[in-house]
Amino acid sequence: MGKVYPELDERLRKFIARQSVFFVATAPCLAPDGSGGSVNLSPKGYRDTFAILGPRRVAYLDLTGSGAETIAHLRQNGQITIMFCSFEHETKILRLYGTGSVVLPGSAAWAELSGPFGGRLGLGLGNERAIVDVAVERIADSCGYGVPVMEPASERDVLTRWAASKTPAELAGYRAEKNSVSIDGLPALDLDLAPVPE
């Protein structure tokens, strides 16, 4: 039976910490009635890229990818849902509904929010393109009875190795080509505010 929670209590925090993957869903509003556009659902890995900042505030480190749908949608309307789904014997799905904002490297907010990600940022790979800061408005779980039991073998290192093989200028060029607009033509990564490559 599903339950709505007033905040991320210790039990929910521990559940989140045990998950090796989470999912982020956003959607644009292209018409005056709020309809239209492509719904986006993205899986996110790397345990050290998600942080609980408070009872109703979370953030995650957004790494360079082939698209920037989440960033574009958040810039337009801010709506976001984050889902954690247990693939272990515990049956549970947890959804965090909220309003997200995109924080870019070099901004004052980046310095404030980067603390929980210090270990990852300390690697100096440069593939961190943003931090998504989420004010959580609704916290709800559901049973997850239909989710299969699976064990993750390991985290993939493909993205880390790919980013490490690029210079800062090459990463900036990739983002300019792949991350400037969403598939619906909405502005995504604001390259004027992105860090200047060395």
| Band of residue 196 on the pLDDT scale cut at 50, 70, 90 | very low
What are the tens digits of pLDDT across the range 112-167?
898 888 766 655 556 888 999 999 999 999 999 889 899 888 888 888 888 889 99
From CA 102, how far away is CA 129, in angstroms rounded? 10
Report how far apart, in Å, the C-alpha atoms of 25 and of each of 3, 42, 128 are.
Answer: 20, 7, 19
What are the tens digits of pLDDT across the range 62-106?
998 888 999 999 999 999 999 999 998 889 999 999 999 999 988
pLDDT of residue 65: 87
User: For residues 36 and 30, is the Cβ–Cβ distance under 8 A?
Assistant: yes
pLDDT of residue 197: 36
Q: Which domains does the chain have, with CATH numbers?
A: 3-178 (2.30.110.10)
More confident residue, 57 or 193: 57
Q: What is the CA radius of gyration of the chain?
A: 17
What are the tens digits of pLDDT across the range 2-20?
899 999 999 999 999 999 9
Entry pTM: 0.89
User: For residues 58 and 96, is the Cβ–Cβ distance under 8 A?
Assistant: yes
Residue in 6, 16, 46 with CA at minimum distance from that of residue 136: 6
Task: Determine phi and psi for 86, rounding to 5 degrees.
Answer: -75, 130
